[in-house]
Structures are given as C-alpha cells and as structure tokens.
Amino acid sequence: MARIFITGLAGLLGGELAAQAPAAGWDVAGSVFERPGPLGVDAVRLDVRDEAAVRGAVSGADVVVHTAYRQDSESSTVTGAEIVARCAPGRLIHLSSDVIFSGVLERPLREDDTPDPVTAYGMFKARAEELVLAVRPDALAVRTSLIYRGDGSTRHEQLARDPSMSFYDDELRSPVQVGDLVSAILELAALDVCGPLNVAGADGLSRLEFARLIAGPSVRGGPRPPGRPGDCRLDSSRARALLATRLRGAREVLG
C-alpha cells in the first residue's frame, strides 16, 4: 500500500484528507503542530521549520501533501514550505491560495497569470509557492480558494452566521467544498502533472453572496477596504479536464 504523508492534520483540509485517503488505497501518516490530529492516524508532532525532524517524518512517503501553514507566521508558511519541499522523498503536492493575486485583472485567473499579492498572508503564500517550485520543479502547487464543508462546522460557515459580521460585496472568490477538493487532490496524487494548478469551486462569488448562501439574506455587506484583494476567481478549467472529480459550485452545494 502506498504511503501518503499529510502536514497539517489538525486543519480542515488535512483532517479530511486523512479521513478519505484510506478508502482510496493509501496508508496515511501525517503531522500536527499543536492541536491533536484525527483519531486512528499515525501522527507526529512536528514544526515544519525543523529540517531534520521533517526529513525523518516524511521518510518513506510516496506522496507528501503539504497543507500546514500559519496565517500570521511568515516563517511557518514560507520557510516551512521550502523545507518540506527539500525533504519530500517522492511526489509533492503543495497547497497554495487564490490570495497570491490582487484581483486587478477583473477576470478569472489562470495558472500563467503572475502573482501580485496585496496582503501579508498573500505574500507569504506567493513566496512559499515560488520557493517550492524552485526547489522541486516536479511538485504540484494546488491553488485553491475558501474551503467549506456545507454543514455549518467550518470557520467560514460559522462567521457567516455571526450577526456582528459584515462581508465584502466586491471581493470575489471561488469557494470549494472540502470533500471535492480532497477527492481532487487524491486523484492528482496519481497523475503526472506539475507546476501551478487551479483547483477551486465552479462558482465565482462575492464574499457577501457566499455568506448569504450559508446564512440567509440578512447577512450584512459592504465594499472592501483598501489593501484587500478584489477579483480572485480562479479558472479551474485545466483541472476539470484532468479530473473525474466534479468541482461543484457553492450555489449547487449550499442552494
């Protein structure tokens, strides 16, 4: 049985990958930083900035999926990604983000568009992707968007139901259901594809429209402030041509 190692098991995506991978034929292991990982998974406590520890943890893995990051930590997000790239012994899938773009092009973004982040986190993720692909040109950098489950349990869904929150009506994203994203990643683990690849939901929505799909029409909204990205919709047509998995739109999932 092939072995998949997942960094960030305590996160939404890492945990769902660990839950789905055994049924797809994978022997699962992975790492957590502080919080416990899923029950029944071979998990080690790991700081991805510790190269010796990372090298030992991923040894023997056929595929490494790097989902771990810290939104407020450049070293965890950037240095950690570079170290995982150096240490991964087999196939490497690195999770990137739509916020590596500013959205000024005002159209769905393609893999060959040049990253131009405007937030600190976007800069971290852009630099992480750049370093990963420099160290490992054979790696796959999966660019995705807002991840949700559809049952009210995720952070984006909980925030949408918070009456004190307001959401931007002019920041556009391509939300993706976590099960769809996981199925796509597990498919891609077996495909000979590398470089950046957009893997996001079929619908481009404003943050406000997305929140209203979750919580109803009473959710408040308004324009984004300076320094926020604008139209970060992702064109996932290349991924759709490669995959059997359907990358559903949020209107279908939540409607």
Phi, psi for residue 212 in degrees, rounded to 5: -70, -30
Long-range contacts of 72-75 (CB under 8 A, 24+ apart): 72/121, 73/124, 74/120, 74/124, 75/49
Helices 80-87 and 51-58 pack at an angle, to 10 degrees, of 40
Sign of CA dihedral 63, 143, 243, 252: positive
> What residues act catalytically?
121
Q: Which two tokens stand for residue 189?
A: 């683990």
Q: Which backbone phi and psi does 251 adopt, to 5 degrees?
A: -65, -40
Find the Cα–Cα–Cα–Cα dihedral 129, 13, 38, 133, rounded to 10°.
-20
HEC profile for 115-167? Answer: CCCCCHHHHHHHHHHHHHHHHCCCCEEEEECCEECCCCCCHHHHHHCCCCCEE
> How many beta carbons lie within 10 A of that of residue 105, not counting itself?
16
> Pairing relation of β-strands 63-66 and 3-7?
parallel
